[in-house]
Amino acid sequence: MTGIWFIGAYGAVATTTLTGLAAIKKGAAPRVQAGIVTESPECDPIRSKFPLDDIKLGGTEVRFLDKNAFQASEKIWEENYHFQRHYLDAAKNELSKVYAKKGTAINCGPGVQALGNLQTLEADGLTLPEIVGQLMKDFESFKNKNGEVVMMNVASTEQHIPLSEEHQSLDAFEGLIDENKVEKVTASMLYAYAALKLKIPYGNFTPSHGATVPAIRELAIKNKVPHMGDDGKTGETLMKTTLAPMFKMRNLKILGWAGFNILGDDDGVTLSKDKNKESKIESKDKAISSSIGYSPFSITEIKYFPPLVDHKVAWDYISYRGFLGTKMALQFTWHGIDSILAAPIAIDIARCLLFAKSRGEFGAIHELAFFFKHPIDDIIGDTFKQYQIFTDWVHEGRKIELSKMQAKIITE
């Protein structure tokens, strides 16, 4: 038995993932060529070791805690109609038994606060040590019931806070928790810390701090637990890291790349606040430079457009220079449904981290860069190279020296 614990369990990404997994197990939903990379023949070592049918579900939330996972999924579905209703009906029996545990939203920023009435552990008066203790209690209970489990952070993007000396070492970080220095932590740090303390792998599907903090990375090495992030690569950025290498291979100079994104739903609400949007824009921008080795002029805009609900639209304009210095341009429009794109990748990352742990790997699993907009430690963004690295890792256990995987950016 295995399990996936979702942070943000009642949001669009998590509920779509929960519904999809439950519907697949019932035989109601397709699993072949349905966006799940780890269900492809190329990933047989993973899919055979961690079959979808054996995955149990659980999670943490700060909203709608009076609902079970089916009711939360139904609420999201009624707002979006983003898949056929019979999949949700097929998932009802399993999801009705899943109730999210109360979590934390410490220092998540105005975007998360704008989501409405939050029910959090800190609002109940718990201190940092007590919050960590409660999170660990919930995670451990899930682990004891389901064997090997993994945590996936699919919650709304939190703001970045300044890191200090207390974030640089595990001892110092645990000291600030003990001293209840609330201003020095964010929710994703606490989730990652609690998971890694229990030797639960941690996947960061968001650009939030998570396990990127040096102190928490130290804990992952100490406890020999795998983790990876940041920010799942699902839509416009996937196009960027696929198209940008084409220009490089044809020796065409990209002069500028402008991307304009509109989206609705909770993610749109969160990213309508500048403090929450900053980390998302950073991860999108770095995808281009890490794919081609230099930084062209770049514009990235993200705007909240309520009528789209869970849909998102991106329009990109690429200015480039070719033979005889002639300027030309490429434009494309990307239209996707955010949670439908994200759900299978969340499943992939979770299975891959479980697979890494089963092979005794720990720390940042850089070979999973293929799934992320801004992979930890600035791994090359080129989709084609990332996929080759990933498949070599799956089949041969091939680990590549970090310095040989990192993007080399030339500044002019």
The full set of domain ranges for the chain reads 2-232+341-385, 236-336
- Give the pLDDT score at 99: 98
- Give the pLDDT score at 284: 62
Which CATH homologous superfamily contains domain 2-232+341-385? NAD(P)-binding Rossmann-like Domain (3.40.50.720)
Name every residue whose Cβ is closer than 8 Å to that of residue 33 and which is 6 or more positions away in sequence. none
Do 338 and 13 touch, CB atoms closer than 8 A? yes
Q: Does domain 236-336 have CATH number 3.40.190.10?
A: no
**Closest listed residue to residue 288, CA positions, set 279, 297, 278:** 297
- Give the pLDDT score at 191: 98
- Give the pLDDT score at 274: 62
Do 335 and 234 touch, CB atoms closer than 8 A? no
**Closest listed residue to residue 157, CA positions, set 83, 230, 245:** 230
412 residues of the chain, pLDDT tens digit each: 899 999 999 999 999 999 999 999 999 999 988 999 999 999 999 999 999 999 999 999 999 999 999 999 999 999 899 999 999 999 999 999 999 999 999 999 887 776 778 999 999 999 999 999 999 999 999 999 999 999 999 998 898 999 999 999 999 999 999 999 999 999 999 999 999 999 999 999 999 999 999 999 999 999 999 999 999 999 899 999 999 999 999 999 999 999 999 988 766 666 555 665 565 566 566 889 999 999 999 999 989 898 988 889 999 999 999 999 999 999 999 999 999 999 999 999 999 999 999 999 999 999 999 999 999 999 999 999 999 999 999 999 888 899 989 988 887 5
- Give the pLDDT score at 163: 95
- Give the pLDDT score at 282: 63
DSSP calls for 159-223: PP----GGGSSHHHHHHHHHTT-GGG--HHHHHHHHHHHTT--EEE-SSSSGGGSHHHHHHHHHH
- Which contacts (CB < 8 Å, 24+ apart) does range 244-248 have? 244/287, 244/288, 244/291, 244/292, 244/381, 244/382, 245/291, 245/292, 245/382, 245/383, 245/384, 245/385, 247/292, 247/318, 247/320, 248/291, 248/292, 248/293, 248/382
Sign of CA dihedral 229, 49, 341, 92: negative
pTM of the model: 0.93
- Give the pLDDT score at 310: 84
Spatial distance between the Cα atoms of 261 and 316, rounded to a whole number of angstroms:
9
Do 369 and 386 touch, CB atoms closer than 8 A? yes
Return the amino acid letter for 103: G
Is 404 strand, coil or helix?
helix
- Give the pLDDT score at 14: 97
- Give the pLDDT score at 110: 80
Type and span of the H or E element at 302: strand 297-304
- Give the pLDDT score at 276: 57
